[in-house]
Amino acid sequence: METKNDFFNDPILVRTQQISLPILEEKGVELCIKREDEIHPFVSGNKFRKLKYNLLEAQNHQKKTILTFGGAFSNHIVATAVAGKIMGFNTIGVIRGDELVIDFNKTIQGNSTLQKAQKDGMKFEFVSREDYKTKTSKTFLRKLKEKFGDFYLIPEGGTNELAIKGCEEILTTQDSNFDYICCAIGTGGTIAGLINASLKHQKVIGFPALKGDFLSKEIEKYATKNNWYLQTEYHFGGYAKYNSTLIRFINEFKNKTTVLLDPVYTSKMLFGLLEMIKNNNFEKGTKILVIHTGGLQGISGFNKKIKNKNEEIIFLK
């Protein structure tokens, strides 16, 4: 049974799975996946890493309530609700989209992410897209304090100094043999931790899941080395955008390797990485470590949306 004292302090063992595919054989490239997705069904992958030192800090400061921000399908929102419950905190999720509150019951029924977060005690504050943009302003935060009282604030996506400290723990001494480390990027916190924990001879490649060129600046704010670059061509049109090629890729990858990927982050990275391997971007003998950052909780909600459009869904089994 998980108790609030040992959830983040227990040592966690993450397995590294070697992937076998004809293209890897052909190009002489070794590909392994660090299965951070197996840490917890809801506090999975990098969200566990990013919450760890934040929730321990909140505990040290005797905070009772955690407040954070996210979209309606956010892995970070549900991870905060579930980890918060385990640690004995009240949690508040400031959710983008005030249209969701018009028929709240319908919203919850149709959204397994918010449903799980609510079940684990999270209270929601739905805000309009315009207000959401001002969420880091003093005025907005003062209003939240007036409404909810004192809280420990975790930024959108969970990225801050303590989150990066947690993400530095993804890499261990056993990973020193790899030449490249790859991860998907949302806010850039996870890759910053990986860069800081990587060795000088290693290169870290980030695959942004969204369009835009602001990410390098974000990463530079926290990264202590410059042995990294971004591969920006595989966002599939932008954040949470997809096409039938991507869905087919997810299902094929699962069939061939047993590894399930999520449609927002990890599938875009692996699609891109396998293309790079095909295009001879890596020398024979290169060893690549991919971080599976999780996010699998969102698949059932994603399937619900695309089923209505009569498109191929992601097979969970």
Ligand X SMILES: *Cc1c(COP(=O)(O)O)cnc(C)c1O
Residues forming contacts to ligand X in the complex (CB under 6 A) are: 45-47, 75-76, 157, 159, 184-190, 262, 265-266, 293-295
The least distance separating ligand X from the CB of residue 74, rounded to whole angstroms, comes to 8
Which residue is at the shortest CB distance from ligand X? 295
Reference 69, options 187, 234, 171, 164; nearest CA is: 187
Greatest alpha-carbon span in the chain: 61
For the chain, what is the total number of helices (H) and then of strands (E)?
A: 13, 10
The least distance separating ligand X from the CB of residue 227, rounded to whole angstroms, comes to 17
Smaller CB separation from ligand X, 160 or 202: 160
Smaller CB separation from ligand X, 232 or 286: 232
The torsion angles phi and psi of 11, rounded to 5 degrees, stand at: -65, 135
- Residues 189, 231: Cα–Cα separation, whole Å: 16
The least distance separating ligand X from the CB of residue 22, rounded to whole angstroms, comes to 27
Distance of CA 292 to the CA centre of its chain: 9
Reference 296, options 275, 311, 317; nearest CA is: 317
With both helix axes pointing from N to C terminus, report the angle between 215-222 and 189-197 in degrees, rounded to the nearest 10: 40
The least distance separating ligand X from the CB of residue 207, rounded to whole angstroms, comes to 9
Under DSSP, is residue 71 helix (H, G, I), strand (E, B) or coil?
Answer: coil
Which amino acid appears at position 43 of this protein?
A: V
Smaller CB separation from ligand X, 175 or 188: 188
Smaller CB separation from ligand X, 27 or 207: 207
Reference 19, options 282, 297, 270, 284; nearest CA is: 270
Smaller CB separation from ligand X, 27 or 303: 303
The least distance separating ligand X from the CB of residue 185, rounded to whole angstroms, comes to 4
Smaller CB separation from ligand X, 46 or 202: 46
Reference 270, options 297, 286, 251, 284; nearest CA is: 251
The least distance separating ligand X from the CB of residue 157, rounded to whole angstroms, comes to 4
Smaller CB separation from ligand X, 27 or 192: 192
The least distance separating ligand X from the CB of residue 159, rounded to whole angstroms, comes to 6
Reference 150, options 76, 88, 62, 79; nearest CA is: 62
